Amino acid sequence: MSTATATITDQGLDSREFRLDPYPAYARLRAEGPLVRSETDRTYYVTTHRAVGAVLRHKDASVESPFRASRVLFGRTVMDVEGTEHARLRSLTGRSFAAPAVPGHLEELVPGAVHGVIDALAGRGRADFVADFANEVPIRVMSRIIGVRAEDVAAFQSCTDAVIAYFDSATPERRRSAVTAWAGMRALLHRRLDELRPAPDGSVIGQLLAATAEGAEVGDDEIVRQIGLLIPAAIDTSNRLLANVLHILCSRPELLRQAYAEPALLDGIVEETLRFEPPIHSTVRIWAGGELLGTDVPRGSLLTVLLGSANRDPEVFTDPDVFDPRRAANPHLSFGAGRHQCMGRRMALAEVTTALRILLERCPGLRFAESRPDPVEGFSFRSPATLVLQYGSPA
């Protein structure tokens, strides 16, 4: 058994060119094999659609690592544990992330948040749709779903910004900022638990308190940790997905005209964006040791699972480098696979699609406001830093 060997430098994964366009490097890695060893990064890159799916579903590929940024910040959450602990937490939290569990999710909550955000843009004709739309909608929706008080949303957003910055680039300075922000948010959430405990409502906090009252083995600290997980898992991914969809639409004026004329096409546009330009391009696993994809991989080895590469695999997708919102089948892996597949994927898709539909209804003529807009870029997390758009009739 053997594996192809590459280095970050050989494949260009540390370059500005890769951050802007990783797909040629992914193609080179796939050509080397489904599992490519990087001595420089001390990891095995998992490259093909078949291999990525197999690793994500493999019982011996674990998320258990004390060095994961989420574990460092939040402690043990459903995203970072295995076995019976994972099954218990997933059962406990999973019901909170289905749209039917949130009263009025698509009828009132999401539309109300989107209309409120767009109302704030009224009359401006130009805005940064990362800061003023993509970042705003998910935080307003998720803070309500979690059960954060309206007066605490600004503090929640400040904490979210610090946490996401740390996950995006785990520098010592960003870690300190995230730890400080999370400490303040943890205290705020504990106060909210105490407020809701006598009469739990339908929020995530309320549902977890009700489960506790019914005998579920979960304490206040654990409830707060699971809520913390929603910052990267639910808010950041929705932010980036919204921004990426809008960037793709404005880069393709004919497709944008079709979306205005045929709102039902948005479902396919969002799904194809998840394949073509997903917000998260990689995740990691720790290997238990033994044979993997025809290679003897030592125990404790780091596996870097390239979701973005899997989604452009020509063995699965016809014309993978072509954006096609009408694909007959789109088995992308952007929500993962197996036991750690994203629990809130359906609710996230519904939220993003609803937000875009309302945006197109209320803001005709969306277009880039700058001749050289910020690109979609990044390594593990990809989206534009800013997205300055004009809307309304051209002058």
User: How far apart are alpha carbons 232 and 225 in whole angstroms?
Assistant: 12
- 395 falls within a domain: no
Tens digits of per-residue pLDDT, 285-326? 999 999 999 999 999 999 999 999 999 999 999 999 999 999
Give the three-class secondary structure for 284. Answer: strand
User: What is the pTM assigned to this prediction?
Assistant: 0.91
- 360 falls within a domain: yes
Residue 11 sits in a domain whose CATH number is: 1.10.630.10
Handedness of CA 31, 240, 356, 202 (dihedral sign): positive
pLDDT value of residue 359: 97
pLDDT value of residue 296: 96
pLDDT value of residue 136: 94
- 15 falls within a domain: yes
185 contacts 159 by C-beta, under 8 angstroms: yes
Strands (E), the chain: 4-6, 35-38, 43-46, 61-62, 126-128, 282-287, 290-292, 295-297, 302-306, 367-368, 376-377, 383-384, 388-390
Q: Indicate the number of domains in the chain.
A: 1
SS3 for 195-236, per residue?
Answer: HHCCCCCCCHHHHHHHHHHCCCCCCHHHHHHHHHHHHHHHHH
Domain that holds residue 38: 4-390
pLDDT value of residue 99: 46
pLDDT value of residue 8: 45
- 152 falls within a domain: yes
Tens digits of per-residue pLDDT, 339-369? 988 877 888 899 999 999 999 999 999 999 9
166 contacts 177 by C-beta, under 8 angstroms: yes
- The residues near 340 (Cβ < 8 Å, ≥ 6 apart) are 56, 63, 79, 86
Segments of the chain with pLDDT less than 50: 7-9, 99-100, 395
